């Protein structure tokens, strides 16, 4: 699997009902069916952070022991406000930890966390939310961290090439009327990331 260029795939399911922030079981089944036809080893573009839970459906496809590395300003392992097992953009890591092949997960919120990547013991699935970055480098719908793109890239390069797949989310939804500057900054960030992974 190493040294095979990664394609960039758009995993946009916003047209389905009950998918923004939370995902109904009906929509989840449709998404699982669609993603079963999509290669795992690719860069999956998920849209804004409202759809970060889509990562779970890709993780469910992994058939070997692996480590989830999450670059995110939020841990995404919180119980939903409604309780129960409702899947949301803030709870999907809790669901992922129940998967039999997920043996390790590492959350990177700030530059000082990057040293934890030296503890990786398994092939990696990498999930990136642009809200981990400061507003100088990305503009999102959520409160943001202070990481720079150079620091993010340092962390990614530490992982090496034993990467099972990648997803990226973050940005500002069109209905929130992002400015031209917002769009330009986000596109530049996506370009840096997808260009790097396309060469792995």
Per-residue pLDDT of 156-170, as tens digits, reads: 999 999 999 999 999
Model confidence at 128, pLDDT cuts 50, 70, 90, reads: very high
User: What is the pTM assigned to this prediction?
Assistant: 0.93
Per-residue pLDDT of 131-149, as tens digits, reads: 999 999 999 998 999 999 9
pLDDT at 95: 96
CB neighbours (10 Å) of residue 96? 21
Tokens 């803030």 correspond to 90
Total tally of structural domains belonging to the chain: 1
Report yes or no on 128 lying in a domain. Answer: yes
Closest CA relative to residue 53, chosen from 169, 179, 138: 169
Segment holding 108, helix H or strand E? strand 102-108
**Domain that includes residue 140, residue range:** 7-198
CATH number, position 83? 3.40.800.10
pLDDT at 81: 67
Report yes or no on 2 lying in a domain. Answer: no
pLDDT at 2: 35
Report yes or no on 97 lying in a domain. Answer: yes
pLDDT at 12: 78
Per-residue pLDDT of 51-103, as tens digits, reads: 999 999 999 999 999 999 999 999 999 887 666 688 999 999 999 999 999 99
How far is residue 23's CA from residue 52's CA, in Å, rounded to a whole number?
Answer: 11
How far is residue 76's CA from residue 87's CA, in Å, rounded to a whole number?
Answer: 11
Report yes or no on 1 lying in a domain. Answer: no
């Amino acid at each position: 699997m190493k040294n095979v260029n990664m394609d960039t795939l758009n995993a946009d399911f916003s047209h389905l009902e009950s998918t923004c922030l939370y995902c109904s079981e009906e929509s989840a089944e449709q998404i699982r069916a669609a993603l079963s036809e999509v290669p795992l080893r690719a860069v999956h573009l998920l849209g804004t952070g409202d759809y970060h839970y889509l990562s779970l459906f890709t993780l469910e496809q992994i058939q070997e022991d692996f480590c989830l590395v999450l670059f995110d300003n939020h841990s995404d392992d919180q119980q939903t406000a409604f309780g129960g097992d409702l899947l949301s953009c803030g709870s999907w890591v809790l669901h992922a930890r129940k998967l039999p092949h997920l043996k390790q997960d590492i959350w990177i919120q700030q530059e000082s966390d990057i040293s934890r990547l030296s503890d990786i013991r398994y092939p990696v699935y990498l999930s990136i939310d642009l809200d981990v970055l400061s507003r100088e480098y990305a503009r999102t719908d959520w409160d943001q961290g202070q990481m720079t793109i150079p620091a993010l890239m340092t962390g990614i390069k530490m992982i090496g090439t034993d990467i099972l797949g990648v997803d990226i989310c973050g940005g500002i939804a069109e209905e929130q009327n992002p400015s031209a500057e917002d769009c330009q900054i986000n596109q530049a960030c996506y370009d840096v990331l997808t260009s790097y992974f396309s060469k792995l």
